[in-house]
Structure 1
Amino acid sequence: MLVTQYFLKDLFKGKTVFVTGGGSGINLGVAKNFAALGANIAICGRSQEKLNAAAADLRAFGTKVCAVSADVRDSAALEAAFEQSKAELGAMDVLVCGAAGNFLAPAEKLSANGFKTVIDIDLLGSFNATHKAFEQLKETRGTILYISAGMAYIPHAFQVHVGAAKAGIDMMMKNIALEWGRFGIRANSIVPGSIEETEGLKRLSDPAEKEKLVAAVPLLRTGTVDDIGQLAAFLSSPLASYITGCVVVCDGGQNLPGSALFNATAELVLRAQHG
């Protein structure tokens, strides 16, 4: 992890960072980068077992951790999680809305329930977290980060549900930045590219096409969770104190040529899954 080579190790000392969906993947990577910089970390998710394992990894940084099971679709459960986090760690300074769901599905075969599930987890879940965190963020003049996706601004095959959800998140982020700036609250979105060792990369890509995927990225590599974690740390730091309402893309330029390669690879994955 390189974040401590570029930021003071106590940059977020005494600060509290709450990450939804923080039990694994990009979100856990973000949490680890904040922990490395001295922050106290709260994480929530649907699996307490997964959260407990993640909490053990985070405590290795010497930080205080609050790991509480909560489904972001359940506003009351989130409120209780936020109250527990505040009691144990203090009012949150940074909220990372990372909980998400995704799968490949042709639009004509996608059920209303499947569409609604992704909207509820990604978009409604991000709203619930934002709404319930307001009082704490107002107290700390805090920051909100939303984990978005390229599907929000470039159409991708078999991702109509995700595109709708993430586009909604990015517009919600801009509205929040507009309305809550007067409280000192900043809001921004992060758009990751293909990130190694994440569930998203496993579900949405064909391992046999890995070389083609890498070759299509202008920087000629896939990303890491630390790439996203370092950006999250920057956007939440005093260095970014005048940045709000922005969609910040961190994908090595992957989306610059469009989604054609993703579309072709996704079709191969669907064929393998369904024949």
Structure 2
Amino acid sequence: MSKKLIVVVGAGPGVGNNVAKKFGANNFRAVLISRNQDALDQYVKELSSEGIETYALAADVASSASLTAAFEQIKNNYGSPDVLVYNAAVLKSGQPTSLTAESLVSHYQVDVAGALHCALQVIPDQVAQKAGTILFTGGGFALRPSANYAALSIGKAALRTLAFTLAEELKPQGVFVGTVTIAGIVAPGTHFAPELIAEKYWELYEKREEHEIVYS
């Protein structure tokens, strides 16, 4: 049986790559997307050393055109993604009054609009196949917003709403949408170790029941 394909947008040494490893260990090929090609080359080397068929594309999640081009390449070179994981966010502190309308929109572009744009790249094929999964990396600020992380709190709340509304729309068409709401600071060797969190993405994919897992 041919391997399925997972695309991780916002690849990195934490949650993103560990999700790719978890799916890769379960007969998936992986495509990693982030801005830094040098880092991506290291990630591909690392995952490939574990026997995971891994590819990478550099793209800027703040640019819809960059994401569109990346997904066109993915489809042409590797096929239609069976699973999309959106793991990108602007992790920057700042109180509400430190924001401007323009800076909030720039955060929102990465935290939420980029997620929607990536989803829109895979939804048509997933709907046509009546199969597919879209998973978002949420955050505890969606449930308990912080004044010190105002833009991120707003973004994670909006991303959570995007996940639930997409789930409602796409469920009748065979596409599952879910979010892992990480209510803590990701850190190796703790309860919030990325490999432990990655298990929850697999759980959502496998069970396809609840649309949110709050990891706390």
Give your verdict on TM over 0.5: yes
- Work out which of the residue numbers 17, 21, 24 in structure 2 matches 1:28: 17
Matching residue's letter, 1:195: V
The answer to whether structure 1 residue 148 and structure 2 residue 113 are counterparts is no
Distance 1:104 1:53, change over 3 A: same
Matching residue's letter, 1:227: L
Q: Do 1:91 and 1:139's aligned partners in 2 also have CA atoms closer than 8 Å?
A: no
Larger Rg: 1
- Work out which of the residue numbers 161, 174, 177 in structure 1 matches 2:167: 177
Separation of aligned partners in 1, 2:128 and 2:43: 28
The answer to whether structure 1 residue 233 and structure 2 residue 202 are counterparts is yes
> Which residue number in structure 1 is paired with residue 78 of structure 2?
89
> Which residue number in structure 2 is paired with residue 116 of structure 1?
105
What's the TM-score once normalised by structure 2's chain length?
0.91
Aligned length: 214
Q: Aligned with 1:105: secondary structure? A: coil
> Which residue number in structure 2 is paired with residue 216 of structure 1?
none
- 165-174 or 76-85, which deviates more: 76-85
For residues 2-23 of structure 1, the C-alpha deviation after alignment (integer angstroms, 9 at most, x for no partner) is: xxxxxxxx9xx61100010013
> Which residue number in structure 2 is paired with residue 255 of structure 1?
none
- 68-77 or 111-120, which deviates more: 111-120
What's the TM-score once normalised by structure 1's chain length?
0.72
| 1:221-260 map, 5 Å | 221-237=190-206, 240-241=207-208, 243-244=209-210, 246-251=211-216
Separation of aligned partners in 1, 2:101 and 2:91: 14
Separation of aligned partners in 1, 2:110 and 2:26: 29
1:66 to partner: Cα distance: 2.0
Distance 1:139 1:67, change over 3 A: farther
The answer to whether structure 1 residue 191 and structure 2 residue 184 are counterparts is no
1:87 to partner: Cα distance: 2.9
- Aligned CA-pair RMSD: 2.0
For residues 25-44 of structure 1, the C-alpha deviation after alignment (integer angstroms, 9 at most, x for no partner) is: 21112111111222100111
Q: Aligned with 1:138: secondary structure? A: helix
Q: Which runs of 5+ in 2 are unaligned?
A: none
Separation of aligned partners in 1, 2:54 and 2:128: 21
For residues 238-264 of structure 1, the C-alpha deviation after alignment (integer angstroms, 9 at most, x for no partner) is: xx13x25x221112xxxxxxxxxxxxx
Q: Aligned with 1:148: secondary structure? A: strand
- Work out which of the residue numbers 37, 45, 48 in structure 2 matches 1:59: 48
Normalized per residue, the structure richer in strand is: 2
Q: Which runs of 5+ in 1 are unaligned?
A: 1-9, 198-220, 252-275
1:157 to partner: Cα distance: 2.8
Separation of aligned partners in 2, 1:87 and 1:66: 13
Separation of aligned partners in 2, 1:227 and 1:31: 13
Separation of aligned partners in 1, 2:79 and 2:50: 19
Percent identity between the two aligned chains: 26
